[in-house]
Amino acid sequence: MMKFKPNQTRTYDGEGFKRRAACLCFKNEKEDEVLLVSSSRHPDQWIVPGGGMEPEEEPCGAAVREVFEEAGVKGKLGRLLGIFEHNQDRKHRTYVYILIVTETLDDWEDSVNIGRKRKWFKVDEAIKVLQSHKPVHAEYLRRLTNTCNPTCGPVCNPTNGNSPSSQVTDNNAPHYVVCSTQGSDLVNR
């Protein structure tokens, strides 16, 4: 299913969830400093960069595209942290990946068009900042400690967003972990 907006097409999965992708962008493999961007709706609040997937777009490609548009960074795409479902006001299903930043642009699409800002935060500080405005984004960072080590890698080439496989392999965990923001139960798929 698709819904059209003036500047984007919203895509939904078979269960009616809006298909989204995001990245936790880290300065290095230590994963101790994360990049947040200012919200387009509330410029004084911080969020994790991410957004809706386009039709036929793989989750890993959408995540890389959204980070480039919203945060003006490129990097090495790492493991899939999880698939987070948000059910309260809007049904969203967000694929959240780890990205190690290797390139930072001075000017990028959202900085030029809407004045979006970005800022590095220590993980604990980022959780506190996100908790009041976007608690589901804070949950992404809380899940960080419960996933595999940073050396896990993807089976995905997000260069064009249409790669044949978006599964991230990890010998110690299921391929997909659905994380509900309504509780802490995990469902293996």
Catalytic amino acids?
69
Q: Which residues pair with 19 in a beta bridge?
A: 93
Biggest CA-to-CA distance, the chain: 43
Helix residue spans in 96-160 (DSSP H) = 109-114, 123-133, 135-143
92 is written with which tokens? 């969203």
Distances (CA, A) of 153 to 15, 56, 110: 29, 23, 29
Beta strands in 39-127 (DSSP E): 46-47, 50-52, 73-86, 92-104, 118-122
CA dihedral 101, 167, 86, 20 (to 10 degrees): 60
Pairwise CA distance, residues 129 & 67, whole Å: 19
